[in-house]
Structure 1
Amino acid sequence: MLNLADNFLQLRQLATLHLSAASALVCQGQNLWVLADDALVLQRYNLNGDWQAELTLLPGELPADAKQRKRLKPDFEALLSLPGDGLLALGSGSTERRCRGCLVESGSVRVIDLSPLYGALAERFQDLNIEGGVAYGRQLLLAQRGNGRGRENALVLLDLTQVLRDLQDGQLSAAALQRIVPLQLPELDGVPLSLTDLSMAPSGTLYFTATAEATDSSYLDGACVGSVLGRLDAQLVVVGLNRLAPVVKIEGLAFHADGQPLLVADADDPAIASPLFTLDRFSELTCSD
């Protein structure tokens, strides 16, 4: 088991975002795209965290009441950059309403039906909860977050060619599914870690974020005791973990073209805007066992 005791990385806040519940982010050139799990929009910032614009993903408005909003939100938890600079936002799949995605190409938005793929994945996991993803070579990797009853952290490997074909038909299909790779993560202060995002550094190295949240539900939030940044090798084995300070619930990870990481956190409070962080002393050798 990897040791987290002395491997701290210090987060430095760059900006306060114009949304709460930030759940994913992607860098494309000088643009930083940010998604929130309790909103119907995609926001664009510059790399310093200055707000630029907003794109509506789904029409309508969500209720202000917290319980109703949670029940009705699409729960967009993953944001992927696709070949050709397209963007794909994915719902978590943790409820029937959360099986929608949105494909963004050249400023236009198309709703994507995720239920064919998610239905197949729901047969493999006790509690489906897709929380991150990244295009990785010829595959698209999805992060299954193990904060439900089965504590099933895993990587879902999809054939990228099939995914791109499916998207043109307005869906993601089970035909894209290649295999599922379970990930064993340690506990943080007695609370199990669970995946929250995936991102690839410019070098091609694959990283993930995970948080320790005191809940056994993929729907209900719990107290967060901390988050980590981890590294995977070419065989998708965890080979490095670093604890992040201060204690925040890190939900999203992306990389500048120069290799500098960007991270967003969710306070699970609609009154608290999400912070955008970086790591000043990060290097690919820092994330160690």
Structure 2
Amino acid sequence: MEKFQLTVLFKIIGIGSASGLLYHNDLLYIISDNSTYLYEYNIANEKLNKIPLVENAQENIPKKDKPDFESITFYGDAIAILGSGSTKKRNLSFQYNIEADSVKQNDIADLYQKIKHQLNFSDDEFNIEGFIMNKKNLFLFQRGNGTEGKNGIISVYNSRNKSEIGFTIFNLPKIKNVPATFTDAILVDDKIYFLASAEDTTSTYLDGEVLGSIIGTIDLKTMKLENSIQISDKHKFEGLTLYKKTATQIELLLCEDNDTEELVSTIYKLVLKKQ
């Protein structure tokens, strides 16, 4: 992963604080951590569609009230979205069925509380920034930017109406002496591609100075870090999706949370050479 190419692919007017994205059939689905819309951007004709997830959907919701959507992935035929769980108002999940154009809302506070209880997470430490699903199993990417520094993957293995919860700690490389912590992840075959950023703060709630971002890979079967590389010294990349792949390289799309009220989101393309 020594060789990479990072370029600006395009900018989207009408979305601010982008925190996750999902590419599917030339459409780019985007979530924002301070909005209750799911955004659908048609790359070919450059048109933006806003899908309300709740009644009276809003943008630029104040920090204390925002649902803090940080995670997006496919769940069967639907798009699944999770709140970070970092406050009581951030415990919602949504499923958007593309074909039916319908939205289903769930409260996942009980699941988050069960995880925190079993893994001894304090309310101030818990902060989910990405998730993937593999068969019946759920993998949540805990950003360890709190005071306890618990950065890792929470595994929820489901079988015969029972669930087993585990936690694998990942101590990622430091940027300017600050550890990088997870901000998103996707599954490509049996390999996890993840983003992580270093931010000069020990709070899951308050933002700090952005010091840069890395990308890396983890083997899903062994839960071992394979490699990583720093791709920026100024961007806080928070969204990651597969764009294209060949036998020799993989192309990913990235978005960043600019922590402003400006409704403009830059989409980046990252090209990595396969090892």
TM-score range, shorter chain: 0.7 to 0.9
- Rounded to whole Å, the distance in 2 between the matches of 1:177 and 1:249 is 32
Q: Which amino acid is 1:113 matched to?
A: D
Q: Which amino acid is 1:256 matched to?
A: Y
- Rounded to whole Å, the distance in 2 between the matches of 1:213 and 1:44 is 29
CA displacement 1:179-225 (0-9 Å, x = unmatched) = 22111112111111110011122x43211000001110111111111
Q: Which amino acid is 1:80 matched to?
A: T
For 2:75, the equivalent position in structure 1 comes to 82
Structure 1 window deviating more from structure 2 (258-267 vs 34-43): it is: 258-267
* Paired residue secondary structure (2:63): helix
Match of 1:150 among 148, 151, 154: 148
Does the CA contact (< 8 Å) of 1:10 and 1:246 recur in 2? no
For 2:92, the equivalent position in structure 1 comes to 100
Structure 1 window deviating more from structure 2 (35-44 vs 25-34): it is: 25-34
For 2:208, the equivalent position in structure 1 comes to 222
- Structure with the larger strand share: 2
Match of 2:33 among 37, 48, 58: 37
* Paired residue secondary structure (2:240): strand
Q: By how many angstroms is 1:257 displaced?
A: 4.6
- Structure with the larger helix share: 1
Structure 1 window deviating more from structure 2 (103-112 vs 32-41): it is: 103-112
Q: By how many angstroms is 1:27 displaced?
A: 1.9
- Rounded to whole Å, the distance in 2 between the matches of 1:56 and 1:63 is 10
How do 1:44-193 and structure 2 match up within 5 A?
44-47=40-43, 50-62=46-58, 69-83=62-76, 85-105=77-97, 106-123=100-117, 124=119, 125-126=121-122, 127-159=125-157, 176-193=163-180
Q: Which amino acid is 1:14 matched to?
A: L
- Rounded to whole Å, the distance in 2 between the matches of 1:271 and 1:15 is 16
Distance 1:148 1:246, change over 3 A: closer
- Rounded to whole Å, the distance in 2 between the matches of 1:220 and 1:31 is 32
Distance 1:96 1:52, change over 3 A: same
* Paired residue secondary structure (1:148): coil
- Rounded to whole Å, the distance in 2 between the matches of 1:15 and 1:49 is 12
- Rounded to whole Å, the distance in 1 between the matches of 2:44 and 2:128 is 28
- Rounded to whole Å, the distance in 1 between the matches of 2:44 and 2:157 is 34
**What TM-score do the two structures reach when normalised by structure 1?**
0.83
- Rounded to whole Å, the distance in 1 between the matches of 2:208 and 2:148 is 16
Does the CA contact (< 8 Å) of 2:171 and 2:179 recur in 1? no
Matched pairs, number: 263
- Rounded to whole Å, the distance in 1 between the matches of 2:83 and 2:136 is 22
Match of 1:260 among 221, 244, 251: 251
Does the CA contact (< 8 Å) of 1:11 and 1:246 recur in 2? no
- Rounded to whole Å, the distance in 1 between the matches of 2:143 and 2:89 is 18
- Rounded to whole Å, the distance in 2 between the matches of 1:8 and 1:217 is 33
Identity of aligned residues (%): 29
For 1:283, the equivalent position in structure 2 comes to 273
Q: By how many angstroms is 1:60 displaced?
A: 2.5
How do 1:183-262 and structure 2 match up within 5 A?
183-201=170-188, 203-233=189-219, 234-245=221-232, 247-258=234-245, 259-262=250-253
CA displacement 1:117-144 (0-9 Å, x = unmatched) = 1111222223110000112344221101
- Rounded to whole Å, the distance in 1 between the matches of 2:187 and 2:39 is 21
RMSD, aligned α-carbons: 2.3
- Rounded to whole Å, the distance in 1 between the matches of 2:11 and 2:102 is 27
Q: Which amino acid is 1:103 matched to?
A: Q
**What TM-score do the two structures reach when normalised by structure 2?**
0.87
For 1:12, the equivalent position in structure 2 comes to 7
